[in-house]
Chains A and B, each alone.
Chain A
């Protein structure tokens, strides 16, 4: 009897991860468009020094492409053993960027509400990263955790 190709059925809480990736994609695209139009997408009084020291389009592009990488990882899912790595890296970069912006906003005069949202979103991202880390470990160890969603 011929064995079929090994399917790595990875992808914990896929719908929840889609929500995170979609929100990250939307925010990255929106800020990229606003920044490209020359609008004050990130006021220093709200986002702190990061809004002054870094180009908004570059930050938004990083978030946009990281979110797309995560989305592609979700689309591919079990058909490629290392799709969990794509989701992990994409989600981690988005979470790191949001956490850094949250810390920068905390130093700004009107930044605390933005810190609340950014840190919350970064926390959401880190939870997704944890799920994908577990999936990645399964991929490295060569097994299937048997769970799909």
Chain B
């Protein structure tokens, strides 16, 4: 084997080890989204949620909330809210409302009667090599007339 071939093999082994290391670093290093439970509610009333999460390190992060509506037996995107936040190590109070979770979207804050499900995604260190995203999905909940 030539020196170049040894170098190629060595480089490939190094890249493989690095990518396995990158695989081992998950979003659990920065946060854990434990539970997202949304209670049924009346149309127009505040929708209580239990959003249990824990942040282990300081990081700049992006958050996104996707609300899906059940429309004629299929799930379709109803509204999206997103933003950024400087997260600090903490375990915040899980008792919140859906309006708090979807602060900047009027459509998300005013759900019409029907069945819904909510996806939350929090991304740590966006744009960097250590960008990691944690996701959680809620239960199906109903907004009654």
Contacts and interface: CB of A to CB of B under 8 A. Distances in A.
- Do A and B share a complex? yes
Interface of A: 44, 52-55, 57-59, 61-62, 64-66, 68-69, 72, 76, 79-80, 86, 93
B1 interface: yes
Interface residues of B, number: 17
B5 interface: yes
Q: Is the interface of B mostly helix, strand, loop or mixed?
A: helix
A69 B19 contact: no
B8 interface: yes
Contacts of A76: 1, 5, 9
A54 B26 contact: yes
A86 B20 contact: no
Contacts, number: 47
Interface string B1-34: 1000100110011011001101100110000000
B16 A66 contact: yes
A68 B5 CA distance: 13
B23 A58 contact: yes
B1 A62 contact: no
B1 A79 contact: yes
A90 B9 CA distance: 11
